[in-house]
Each structure stands twice: as structure tokens, then as C-alpha cells.
A and B are shown apart, each in its own frame.
Chain A
Amino acid sequence: MLAALPDEFPGFSALPREIRYLMGCGNFEQFLATYQALAKPFAYCPFCDGQEKEETYIMDTMHWVLRHNEFPAKGTKLMLLIVPKKHITDPLEFTTYDGQEIMTLFRHAINHFKIAGGALVMRFGDPQFHSGTVPHLHWNIIWPAGNVEYRVALAKDDDAREENYRRLLGFRVRFNDQGGESVALA
């Protein structure tokens, strides 16, 4: 997946979908988790695997789980995730019951954590048109810190993409140093 990447940024549209997702990863741990999920989605999808993980699990309904975001963004006080238990990647797969379950978990999050304000955000489809890192659909509950400006990236320009690409090449070096795919997917 990473071996054929050129040293110079070839343009976002020239890159395969998997690389577009990897470019959105802000740190190596997130990169590794995303890489594993892309290579073996049914074994490593971070939102399929460990749904009941104690460190992140908060509550669930029949089809959805409320959990902590393991990679909260800077400038936020709290970031939570509402994730479907089934590996759904297209919002057209949602049923009429999903909206009600999402709202049940959202209501619990607001009350439990006393979230004063923020946004409920979902990215979907081709990552060229948003800035997501995990294909498995999910909602982010974002509570900004409030004392610094916080902006959520929903589409990036070419300069930001190029910077993300360079960061990805840095992750590739570290990835290879640690044994590469044979170790990551062992």
C-alpha cells in the first residue's frame, strides 16, 4: 500500500482511496490503526474491533455504541464517538431506527458529561470530499475547549494535502523501521 508512493506529492486525485484516508492521520498511532483497518477491515477496523473495550466504552443501544475518541483533537475539551456496531460505510444503509438510537446516545452523552455546547459531526463517502480517517461511518460529538478557536476540517486545500502527504511519508519511514506490514498485520 505504501511502497509505491512517490517522494513528491502527485496530487490528491492521483492517489488511491486508502492513501487519502492515511493522509488524514495526525499521529503515528492513528496511522497504524488506520493502516491495519484498511489492509484487513474485518480484522482490524477500529470501530468493529473492541466495541466493548473498557477504556473507551460508555454505553450502547441495539445497533450503536457511544465511546470515547482515542485521538481527541487539540483545542477540544471532550470528543466522543457514536458508532454503528455493523461495519457500515454508506449513510444510505441507515435505517429509520438508527436516527432514534443515535439521539438516545447523544442525549446520554450530553447529560452524563454535562456538555455545554459543540457539534455533532458525521463525514461520509469518498475522503476526497471530507477529512475523515476511518471508513466505518461514525458521528463525532465535539465539545471545544472554548478558550481557543477551534475549527473542524471538512475539506482541505492542496497546500494542506501536500503537508499531509509529507507527514505520511514520515510515518512510512517509521513504519518500515518497525518491521513494516509483516509486523503490523501479524
Chain B
Amino acid sequence: MSDGDLLNLNHAREPEQKALMEQIIADGVCPFCAEHFKKYHPKPIIKETDYWFLTENMSPYPGTKYHFILVYKPAHIRTPSEIVPEGAADLFALLDWAIAEYKIPGGSFFMRFGETRYNGSSVQHLHGQLIMGDVDAPGHQPVRVKLG
């Protein structure tokens, strides 16, 4: 696996994120594969199922109140179309759980896929992102996610 296949440093947003990504590239592993995830991800795992890790994003987007990531566990895949049927059902159950647990009144969920020039992704392992804008905070920043 080449480094470019797994991580895209051009899409790192924070210095500590970039530093960690450089370390991971040196180690030659995928940081989101289940056997490595807990080693590299600095935030606690909130919930773990057979198919997904739910945790906070290590570099939440400015302007968000909540920014969770859901990382696919069973295999190193890059597109939602490769999710096994049970994993797709489990994803919805986990989303429902998070929305209810954190009383999220509204927000967005998205998954990037395919070539990085079209999706702005930093890690090429399927993960979803659950976001709620912190719209009541003074000086709230807009949340505009880079895709292409």
C-alpha cells in the first residue's frame, strides 16, 4: 500500500493532525483499520459495535458543537457500496443512538468516497461524520465542508 493510497496530507487541517498523519505514513499502516484505530486515535471510543467505532473527531470542524466520526470496522473499504448489509443496518442504529443520546435537534451526516480530488478526504478508509453546527455560540463560524 502506498502512502498516497491511505492518507492525503494536503487535506489535513490542523498541525497536530498533520504530525500524526506523518507518523502513520512512517509506520505504513491504515490508522482507521480496526487493529490500529485505538493506537492512533486520541479520543475515547464512545460506542463500539461489530461494524463501527463511534468517537469524536480528533480535529473537529470549527463551528461545530458535535463532530463525531463513525469508522467502519470489518475491513479496509473506501466506499459505502462495500458496506455489508448488516453493517448498513447497524450504521442507522448507531446514528439513531447518537442523535438520541446527545439530543441532537438537527444536523448532518456524510460519508466521502472515491478519489480524493473529488471528496477532500484525509483518510482513505470508510468513515461517516455526524455534525451539528454550534449556531447559538457567539461569533459562530459557518460549517462548509470541502469535498472537491
User: Is the beta-carbon distance between B148 and A148 smaller than 8 angstroms?
Assistant: yes
User: Is the beta-carbon distance between B89 and A99 smaller than 8 angstroms?
Assistant: yes
In the complex the two chains form, what is the Cα distance from A150 to B144 in whole Å? 9
| Interface bin, chain A | 35 or more
User: Is the beta-carbon distance between B88 and A103 smaller than 8 angstroms?
Assistant: yes
- CB contacts (< 8 Å) of A118 on chain B: these are 112-114, 118-119, 147-148
Task: Please report whether the interface of chain A is mostly helix, strand, loop or mixed according to DSSP.
Answer: mixed
Q: Say if the beta carbon of A68 comes within 8 Å of chain B.
A: no
In the complex the two chains form, what is the Cα distance from A155 to B145 in whole Å? 10
Q: Say if the beta carbon of A127 comes within 8 Å of chain B.
A: yes
Give, as a whole number of angstroms, the nearest-CB distance from B77 to chain A.
12
User: Is the beta-carbon distance between A145 and B148 smaller than 8 angstroms?
Assistant: yes
Write out, one digit per residue, whether chain B residues 123-143 have a CB within 8 A of any chain A CB (1) or not (0): 000000001111110001111
User: Is the beta-carbon distance between A91 and B119 smaller than 8 angstroms?
Assistant: no
Given contacts A146-B117, A146-B148, A154-B143, contact A99 B110 (CB under 8 A): no
Q: Say if the beta carbon of B106 comes within 8 Å of chain A.
A: yes
User: Is the beta-carbon distance between B106 and A128 smaller than 8 angstroms?
Assistant: yes
Give, as a whole number of angstroms, the nearest-CB distance from A9 to chain B.
15
Return 17 A-B CB contacts under 8 Å, by A number: A91-B99, A102-B88, A103-B81, A103-B88, A107-B81, A116-B118, A117-B118, A118-B112, A119-B119, A119-B147, A125-B104, A126-B106, A127-B106, A130-B106, A142-B147, A150-B147, A152-B147
